Amino acid sequence: MQESEAQETTASRDAAGAVLSEDGLSEATASATEGGISGALSLLQAGGPVVMILIAMSVLATAVTLLKLWQFSRTNVGRSRNGRKALHLYKEGKTQEALATAKRARSLVGEVLARAIRGLQCGVPEAKIREELLRYGGEVLENLRGGFRILEVIASLAPLLGLFGTVLGMIEAFRQLEAAGNQVNPAILSGGIWQALLTTAVGLAVAIPVVAVLNWLERRVDGLAHEMDNLVTQLFTEDLSEDALKEKDAHHERPGLPATAAAE
């Protein structure tokens, strides 16, 4: 009986300890969250309006980047496998299969090839087909480049705003130092300097990822433009590489005869 009561007491103590530990963990988490929020607010207050403007610019840059990623994903930018397959089928004389493959690609490259193949089926002259494809490709690329100007402005202005905030902070620090007169406190100057340099750090932190993202997006658009131009040109020309010519000669050889006999 006494042993069972002791076991119950020990179990109750363990449960109470677990509750207290959970309460302590939640309190620690809440205090850490409050500390992080208060620290961020203090940095905002120290940086002044310049830091607030930079944060607003970073939010805008993030929104534009997410929008462009969604647009690139929806239009399958960078995916040209089915487009190359459609071109290969058209070269083999399988026009309907090539057109179906180009439509199934659901990409900008596939749409360009589909338009070109439909034009050739309808007997449209090559010059008019190229002109229409050039117009359509230019419109597509312009839509994909939409928003790039915003990122360029943010990438250019963010470091300048940070530097401007640093200059203002240094002016304020030396003004306070002058007002102190003979009772100069080094803490006044050091505190003003780190607050001033804070804006430069925030400006660089905003500009560096924006520059990286902008260059990556521009590279994807340039790659798409090159791929569309390359495939459309191949549609109207012949592949003169050695492997392509050998494959073409193999298709034209008569069965049962060597290549030399077929040539004679």
Ramachandran region, residue 199 (left: φ > 0; alpha: ψ -120 to 50; beta: rest): alpha
Place of tokens 């399988």: 94
Please report, as a single letter, which amino acid is at residue 179. Answer: A
- Which of the 8 DSSP states describes residue 229? H
Q: What are phi and psi of 81, to 5 degrees?
A: -65, -45
DSSP string, 19-50: HHHHHHHHHHHHHHHHHHHHHHHHHHHHHTHH
| Contact call for residues 162 and 202 (beta carbons, < 8 A) | yes
Q: What is the pLDDT along the chain (264 residues), one digit of tens a residue?
A: 444 554 555 555 554 454 444 455 455 444 445 544 554 556 566 557 888 899 999 999 999 999 999 999 888 887 778 788 888 888 887 888 888 888 787 788 888 888 888 888 888 888 888 888 889 888 989 999 989 999 999 999 999 999 988 888 888 777 777 776 666 666 666 666 777 788 888 999 999 999 999 999 999 999 988 888 888 888 887 765 655 556 656 655 544 444 444 443
pLDDT by residue (tens digit) across 34-57?
544 554 556 566 557 888 899 999
Cα dihedral angle (164, 165, 166, 169), rounded to 10 degrees? 130
| End-to-end C-alpha distance for the chain, whole angstroms | 113
